[in-house]
Structure 1
């Protein structure tokens, strides 16, 4: 099993109520039900306000590296990433569990 963790930081001047952000969040909220490779799916806003904190997170699991690649290549994932690319930066970690 592999955990795929992504932390997003909104770009300077971008707020959570920006229409682009709302569309990106909606895309990721729906993603869990669209990609069959996902064994688990969580996404949410960070609830703390610290200078080093990221703003939004995705936490999901897949069976193996092949499933991870299918998830990454899935059109719904690619569409969500394209939205987020317009207003945020992110870091990822993929690790075995």
Structure 2
């Protein structure tokens, strides 16, 4: 199995109630039901107010590297990424477990 972790930071001046952010949130919340490669899917806003904290997190798992590639290329995933690219930056980590 491969764990896929993503941490998002909203761009300067962008707030959670921005309509673009709300659309991006909905797009990612729905991925767990839309992409068969996802064996585990959760995403949600960070509750920490520490200054080094990121704003939003994805925690996902797929079977193997091929499944990860299919997930990353999936049109619904790509559509969500395009939305988030407009108002955030992110870091990822993928590891086997």
Deviations 1:7-39 (A, max 9, x none): 000000000000000000000000110000000
5+ residue gaps, structure 2: none
* TM-score of the pair, normalised by structure 2: 0.99
Q: Does 1:90 align with 2:90?
A: yes
Stretches (4+) displaced over 2 A: none
Stretches of structure 1 lacking an aligned partner (at least 5 in a row): none
1:32 alignment counterpart: 32
* Cα deviations by residue, 1:32-69 (Å, 9 ceiling, x for unpaired): 10000000000000001111000000000000000000
Q: Per the alignment, in what secondary structure is the counterpart of residue 30 of structure 2?
A: helix
SS in 2 for 1:6: strand
| 2:23 corresponds to 1:14 | no
Distance across 2 between alignment mates of 1:4 and 1:45: 17
**Structure 1 Cα separation of the partners of residues 23 and 50 of structure 2:** 25
**Alignment partners' CA distance in 2, 1:57 and 1:21:** 14
* Aligned mates of 2:30, 2:85 — CA distance in 1: 18
Other-structure match for 1:53: 53
Using the alignment, how far apart are the partners of 1:30 and 1:42 within structure 2? 10
- The TM-score with structure 1 as length reference comes to 0.99
